[in-house]
Amino acid sequence: MFRGSIVAIVTPFKDGKVDEDVFRELIEFQIENGTSAIVPCGTTGESATLGMLEHARVIDITVAAVNKRVPVVAGTGGNSTSEAIELTAHAKKAGADATLQVTPYYNKPTQEGLYQHFKAIAKEVPLPQVLYNVPGRTSVNMLPETVARLAELPEIVAIKEASGNLEQMAEIISLAGDNITLLSGDDNLTLPVLSIGGEGVVSVVANIIPKDSSEMVSAWEEGDLNKARGLFYKMFPLCRAMFYETNPVPVKTSLALMGKIRDEILLPLVSMDPSNLDRLKKVLQAYGLMQE
C-alpha cells in the first residue's frame, strides 16, 4: 500500500468552493498515469485552511472517485488531538484505506506529547496511520527514537519524512525499519531516500508529472539505476520550482497554466509574485508542460 509515487493532491477551487468536477478529473489524471496512492487534504491540499465540512467532503469525493483502484491515504492530522480523532473517524467511515497524521503544529509538543498524540488517535480509530514529520512547517521535529516507539503500535505503518535530514531518516530505518515504511516527503530527495531504504515518495510534483514520478520509483525498484537517475535529474529543476513560494501556490499555479484547474487558492495564501511566476513559466516551458 505504501510504496511508489504517492500524490499529495491539490484541492481545486471555484469561487471559493471545492470544484468537485475538476477534482474528479485530477484524480483520473493521477490514476491513468501510474500514481500508487492518493493523499487528499495534505499540506498540498490546503488542509490547514479547509473548513471541517469541506475537509470531510474532499475525503468523501476522493474515496468515491478512486473506487478502490489505488489506496486513499486521507490527511486527517491537526494540532488538536480531539480534532484529529474526529477527522480520522470520518475518514474511516468514508472508506479511506489509511490516514496521514502530521505532527501537531504551533503548540510544539515534547517527544512524549507526540507519542501520546498519535497513540490516542490509533486507540480511538484503528486505521493504518502514516506519520508526517515536517519540522519546517510545524516547528517540531519528531526524533527517530519516537518514531521507533510509535512503530511498535500496529496502526503505525509508515512515515512521510520531510525533515530534509537523510541522517535522521537512516536512523529511522536502523531503529525501526522492520516495523515502518519510510517515504520521502521531499521530491528533491526521493532518489537519495530510496537509496537508504525508503519505499517511495509522497509527492508534490506528481500533481503535474505523475507518469515521470511513478516511472522514476519503478525504475529504482526494478534495478534500472540509470533510468531512475536520469528521471530524477530531469525532474529536479521542476521539483525545486514547486517551492519558489509556499506550497501549494507554485504547483496550483502550474496546473492552472497547464489548463487543468482555475488559479485559485485560499487566504492567507496569495498568487505568485510576478518575478517568481516568470521563473516558474520558464521551468514549465523547458519541461514541455506549457508553450512559450
- Which residues are catalytic, by number? 132, 160
What one-character-per-residue DSSP string does 149-160 give? HHHTSTTEEEEE
Q: Alpha helices of the chain — where are they, by DSSP H?
A: 20-32, 52-66, 81-94, 111-124, 135-138, 144-151, 166-176, 190-195, 210-221, 225-241, 249-257, 274-287
- Beta-carbon contacts of residue 14 (< 8 Å; ≥ 6 apart): 22, 262, 264
Per the CB < 8 A criterion, the answer to whether 161 and 172 are in contact is yes
Q: Report how far apart the first and last C-alpha atoms of the chain are (Å, whole number).
A: 39
C-alpha cell at 79: 494540532
C-alpha–C-alpha distance, residues 98 and 66, integer Å: 14
CB atoms within 10 A of CB 153: 17
Sign of CA dihedral 159, 162, 167, 168: negative
